[in-house]
Each structure stands twice: as C-alpha cells, then as structure tokens.
Amino acid sequence: MRELVVLGTASQVPTRHRNHNGYLLRWDDEVILFDPGEGTQRQMLLAGAPMTPLKRICITHFHGDHSLGLPGILQRISLDRVPHPVAVHYPAGGQEFYDRLRHATSYWDNAEIVAEPVGAGFTVETSAGRLTALPLAHSIETYGYRLTEPDSRRMVPTLLAERGVKGPAVGELQRAGRLGDVTIEQVSEARPGQSFAFVMDTGLCDNVFELARGVDMLVIESTFLAQDAEMAAQVGHLTAGQAAVVARESGVRKLVLTHFSQRYPDPDRFLEEAAKEFDGPVVLAEDLLRVPVPPRG
C-alpha cells in the first residue's frame, strides 16, 4: 500500500476543523511520519494508524506547529515497545530543540530511537528507496525531503515461457541477472521507480523545484492566497498559485496542498487558485484524509 494519511493541515495555530501539521506516508513496508505537530498522537488514533509500523520521523524545522507533537510520539513508541529502531531526521542546527523534545518529560524509555540529523548532502537508504533532504528558504533552518524508489525490472511471463525459464529458476535469474544464455533484459521490462516529495514552510527557491522534479506526489505548503503574496514572501511561505507553478514546471503527477492559514474561511479558494496554474490532479488536504500515491505511469 502506498498512501498519504493526512493528520493535520493548519499553519501556526490549530482551528476547530484543522489540527496542527502531521503527515504519515505508507510506502509498502516503510512508514514515515512527517512534521508531527501538537496532537499528532491522537490524530493517528482517529485515523486508525498504529504506532508500531513507524520506521522513521522527518522534521522539516523546529517551529512548534511542525514539531511539538514529537515528545508524545516518542513516548508512545516506548509505551508500545516498538521492536525495531525508529530513526528521527531533523535539521542539524536545531540539535538543542531536538534534545529538549526528546526528553521533554519523565518516562520509561523502552524504544531504540536513532537520531540522524540532516545537513548538507544528507541521504539515507530505506526499504522504500533513497531519502534525501535539501535546505529551503524560511526564517529558520528548514529542509524538504524526497523519497526516490530505484528503477527495477518486471518479469514478463510470456517472455519467460518462450525461453523455458520457470519455477525457482526465475528467482535465480532475478538475483544473478543471467541464467545460462538468458539475460534478465530478454525476459523483463523496465519498471521506473516512484517518488514523493514533502515541502513545508519556504519561499520559492531552486531547491523547491529540485525536490519536486518529476515526483508522483508532491505535498507542499500553500499557506497564503495570491492576494497576500507580498506577506508570504516576507515570512518565507508560498501561495497556492506558487505551489501549483512548482508542480507544473517540475512535472509533478499529483499535487497535495496543505498548511493553510486560518485567515481564509473558504478553503476552496486555494483549489481554485491552484487550478489556474496546474492542470493535473490537485488535492486540498483535510484532516484524516487518505491520498493514494498515483499508480505507476
């Protein structure tokens, strides 16, 4: 299963209808929690998302609406005695904030939490592919994340049958790349890897486009509408129209808008503004919404 579970969508402060940020990406066996804001633990309960499968947590920056839920998440991981290590990625320059959140209160620490700070050139291999991070343009040190699955090959049954490859020999061919005179290229076809990008709190910069380049799903902040573009630039945020331009120019397949300012009572305006710039599918994130990653192209 590959899907995004939206846990919260508000910028700065929660509202009656929007919790602080929180986004859970399920990518086969890799489960990643992005930016756990205040209340994320409860939102996971409401979404039916258990804590045990969680493999890693990615924090873009240490503003409260993106990180104040971390202590509760870490304590719940310990309470549930999650049996595998859980990595936490965060801006290296915010180490003091991570240390405070890591042990914000007293509790019995039963889990293996692995701190893996993010800096220049950060990359890590996961079961889902390569996770990378690039710096963004905000008021404090902030990173966006990208998950890129490696390309692979899909075995074609008719081609295997033509060359008499069957049973355990198929697995041997996949592992070795050759079985006698038969090569894997002769009995398979290319299977391009999928990709996902997560971009929060930032003004427009080159790395926003680099993170979004060709991804199947882009989750991106759209705090403001175009009428307040000047304010957005001053505080290091995007408008819905700018987010859509990023999606269009980067060749994104599905655009997910989130992180909405409470100053706008009508959320449909974000969708309308984005649709003027991007003609692909646009999802207006709502709390507890499940957004499937598009099928392979």
Please list, in sequence order, all residues whose beta carbon lies within 8 angstroms of the beta carbon of residue 139, skipping any fewer than 6 positions away.
235, 236
Evaluate whether 276 touches 293 at the Cβ level (below 8 Å): no
Would residue 85 be called left, alpha or beta, if left means φ above 0 and alpha means ψ between -120 and 50 degrees? beta
- Tell whether 28 is in a known binding site: no
- Tell whether 66 is in a known binding site: yes
Q: Alpha-carbon distance 78 to 51, whole Å? A: 10
Q: Alpha-carbon distance 56 to 247, whole Å? A: 26
- Tell whether 201 is in a known binding site: yes
The active-site residue out of 29, 35, 65, 266 is 65
- Tell whether 138 is in a known binding site: yes
- Tell whether 17 is in a known binding site: no
- Tell whether 259 is in a known binding site: yes
Can 65 be counted among the known catalytic residues?
A: yes
Annotated binding site for Zn(2+): 61, 63, 65-66, 138, 201, 259
List, by residue number, the catalytic residues. 65
For the annotated binding site, the residues are 61, 63, 65-66, 138, 201, 259
